Amino acid sequence: MRKKRIAVIGLGDFGIELIKRLYEDGHEVTAIDQDKNKIDRIREFSTYCVAIDSTDESELKEHGLDEMDAVVLAIGDNFENLIVTADALKKIGAINIFARYQSDLNKRVLQMLGIESLFNPEEQAAQSMAEQLANSSVKGVTLLGQDYRILEAVVPKHMQGKTVQGAKLREDWNLNLITVKRPKKTRRKSDRKDEEVLGIPSPNLVLSEGDILVLFGKTEDLEQMIGKR
């Protein structure tokens, strides 16, 4: 995996958690917020951190925001700052801007500014929880726009004992298998953290009871597959 230069603007709970994960994955992460106390909290978990006014174009350019592989706008409590910062980033030529929205109005204004990559952590968390509560086989959901998602689901009984090729996920269900998570043999059988990610699945990999399929596809196709237990 190529190391990327990523800036995260806005150090609320979501921004801080995102920075930690990106940093742990080996990326060069720049953390930005106006609050110096928040900067101090994230210092050891980032490559570079600075307290600046993110609405100031010259400040953003001085700290290299126009040279980042991606910039994440995680500002969640000040919509005016979010919009002005997004506009400033566009003006200095920043690419791959990901912006957080909290309402349909926020979303529309960001789209009018030309920000295409938009996300809402609360909406995604609620959707994932709703699907997990509605279907016990669903273990996680990541929304990718309105029509697509990445779904983690327990392998259906009718696929257990079959190879990846024999399960015909692509042919019969129009789904792509990203990877398989398999419970490790442990004394604590109920500990869901003890899982092994099997990497890119071989066509000859035999699917076993308890495996978690990580699938990508259209919402309707995923729902049809998990509905056929």
What pLDDT digit, counting tens, does each position of 9-42 carry? 999 988 998 999 899 889 999 999 999 999 998 9
Annotated domain spans of the chain: 5-119, 124-227
Kindly report the CATH number that applies to the domain delimited by 124-227.
3.30.70.1450
**pLDDT greater than 50 at residue 95:** yes
pLDDT at 92: 96
More reliable by pLDDT, 131 or 159: 159
pLDDT band at 116 (very low <50, low <70, confident <90, very high): confident
Q: Which two tokens stand for residue 163?
A: 């190879």
Instruction: Quick: pLDDT tens for 122-154.
Output: 766 666 566 555 555 677 777 666 678 888 889
DSSP E strands, 75-207: 97-100, 117-119, 138-144, 148-154, 176-183, 195-197
Instruction: Quick: pLDDT tens for 30-79.
Output: 999 999 999 998 999 999 999 999 999 999 999 999 999 999 999 987 88
Mapping DSSP to helix (H, G, I), strand (E, B) and coil, where does residue 107 land?
Answer: helix
Mean pLDDT across the chain: 86
pLDDT at 140: 76
Of 127, 125, 76, 72, residue with least CA distance to 97 = 72
Write the DSSP assignment of 123-158 as a string of letters.
HHHHHHHHHHHH-TTEEEEEEETTTEEEEEEEPPGG
Q: Measured between alpha carbons, how far is 103 from 116 in angstroms, rounded to an integer?
A: 15
pLDDT band at 224 (very low <50, low <70, confident <90, very high): confident
5-119 maps to CATH 3.40.50.720: yes
**What is the value of pTM for the model shown?**
0.62
162-174 burial string, b = 16+ CB within 10 Å, else e? eebeebebeeebe
Give me the count of residues in the chain: 229
More reliable by pLDDT, 165 or 133: 165
